[in-house]
Amino acid sequence: MTGPDREGAEVLRLARQLPLLGAVSRVARRAVRRHAALERLPDAQVEVLRTVEAHPGIGTRGVADRLQLVPNTVSTTVGELVRAGLLKRARDPSDRRAARLHLTDEGAHRLAAWGAAGDEVLSAALLRLDEDDRRAIGRALPALRRLAAVLDEEDAGHEAAPPRTTTGRSVTGSPDTSDSTP
């Protein structure tokens, strides 16, 4: 194979390996959970908390858009987090019908504790790799960020994206790949 055929085969080989990223993420989350003496939160709740942490004052619709989930699912998750004391709702002064979301001190503490546990576990695991492997991972990160941006652009560019179920999966069955829990 030469030229475009060879490039296409290489691209296909890479595309078929990308699910490994999800597997690494799942294994990392399990390792952090084993290590951390914290109450486990469902992944969906952690995603909402992290989104609110990154965008204080965001509304439920904004969280749903960012996570590519249906708003009623996010609304249910927000209600659970409010009842658990991890999130608070504040009325938007310019639109009394809208609520703005903020982390509570406990919610911020919980995310910080998970972050610290993740740093410890992942740093220890990386130290067990040789220097060449660590460098290779470091070199791959910018390209992975660019890939995520391209995929996000393509997803945002579709005017009629497939309808999603309450789990965030498209009706056609392709999984939502956002995976942000520790």
Contact 60, 74 (CB under 8 A): yes
**Cα(134)–Cα(24) distance, integer angstroms:** 15
The predicted-structure confidence for 52-67, as pLDDT tens digits, reads as follows 999 999 999 999 999 9
pLDDT at 93: 82
Q: Indicate the pLDDT class of residue 124, thresholds 50, 70 and 90.
A: very high
Mean pLDDT of the residues in the chain: 84
Q: Which residues contact 131 (CB under 8 A, 6 or more apart)?
A: none
pLDDT at 101: 97
Spell out the domain ranges in the chain. Answer: 40-118+157-182
pLDDT at 148: 87
Q: Give CA 151 to chain center in angstroms.
A: 14
**Cα(32)–Cα(120) distance, integer angstroms:** 9
In this predicted structure, the answer to whether residue 165 has a pLDDT above a threshold of 90 is no
pLDDT at 2: 60
pLDDT at 168: 47
Mean pLDDT to the nearest integer, 115-138:
95
In this predicted structure, the answer to whether residue 162 has a pLDDT above a threshold of 50 is no
pLDDT at 159: 45
In this predicted structure, the answer to whether residue 39 has a pLDDT above a threshold of 90 is no
In this predicted structure, the answer to whether residue 24 has a pLDDT above a threshold of 80 is yes
Q: List, in sequence order, the alpha helices (H) in 19-99.
A: 19-35, 43-54, 60-67, 71-83
Q: Which residues contact 82 (CB under 8 A, 6 or more apart)?
A: 88, 89
User: What is the torsion angle, in degrees rounded to the nearest 10, for the CA atoms of residue 169, residue 172, residue 177 and residue 179?
Assistant: 20
In this predicted structure, the answer to whether residue 182 has a pLDDT above a threshold of 70 is no
Mean pLDDT to the nearest integer, 77-103:
92
Mean pLDDT to the nearest integer, 149-162:
68
Assign 95 to helix, strand or coil: strand
| 3-state DSSP percent of the chain in helix, strand and coil, to 5 | 65, 10, 25
Mean pLDDT to the nearest integer, 8-37:
88
Determine the topology of domain 40-118+157-182 in CATH: Arc Repressor Mutant, subunit A (1.10.10)
